[in-house]
Amino acid sequence: MGLNTLRALFLRATGRLLSHEPVVLITILLIILGIWLFVGVTEEVIEADTQELDERVLLALRASGHLEDPIGPPWLERMAAEVTALGGIGPLSLFTMAVAGFLWLNRKRAMLLLVLISVGGGACVSFGLKQLIGRPRPSAVPHLTVVSSASFPSGHAFLSAVVYLTVGILLAATLGRRRLKLYILFVAILLTFLIGISRVYLGVHYPTDVLGGWTGGLVWALSCWVVARRLQKRGAVEAEEDPSPEGE
């Protein structure tokens, strides 16, 4: 392949990239950054470079001399257990089905299909990464909830990002009112954050497990949004609703 051919391919790829809307271009750059971060964290985890810091954080969250007791009042532990349950397969499946029902009743059948494919695909990616990397669960502190799978990336962090963020982003893409978009995205981000933090607090994941889960899930959610945006432009997925005057 000659130099002129390479130059032509580069210019064509650059032209296609710059032809995107600014928000899409920024999102693509965030996806690239997220992939780079995820790969970097994964390499550090595999080489055990983060092990000492991970264990130090877990120990800092336990009462001195009583590793079975997390810091804070008893109600905080109960709340953490309840919050972490929101990232389980059951609640996430129920949430996805509820959103699917909403889209079906709202006659957004193509977006409904995209949501189901996005969530199902993200779950497969999370499970595959766990099996591939196979990091053992933390042993520095007792686990305060039952776990059975590998540790990296955190399935709860990854899947909560996949479900709440992906569904939130795709659902927001069908709405025209800015306040509704922002509210949905805020709730999705808050849930994903709290679920990830709860996994570290309960001692079932290292901080880097959660960071990997958040990063991987965010990359997946943003990628799904880019696909949805492209399909909306082609008319293959329902476009967003026209905003009412009071929604702006």
CA distance 160 to 218: 10
Please say if 20 is a catalytic residue.
Answer: no
CA distance 25 to 238: 21
Beta bridge partners of 63: 66
Please say if 205 is a catalytic residue.
Answer: yes
Q: At what angle do helices 51-60 and 207-234 cross, to 10 degrees?
A: 100
DSSP letter at 242 equals P
- Residue 147 region, left (φ>0) first, then alpha (ψ -120 to 50), else beta? beta
Q: Are 137 and 203 in contact (CB under 8 A)?
A: no
Catalytic one of 20, 66, 143, 156: 156
* Residue 4: φ, ψ to 5°: -65, -35
Helix (H) / strand (E) containing 63: strand 62-63
Catalytic one of 20, 66, 143, 205: 205
What's the count of helices (H) and strands (E) in the chain, helices before strands? 10, 2
Catalytically active residues are 156, 205
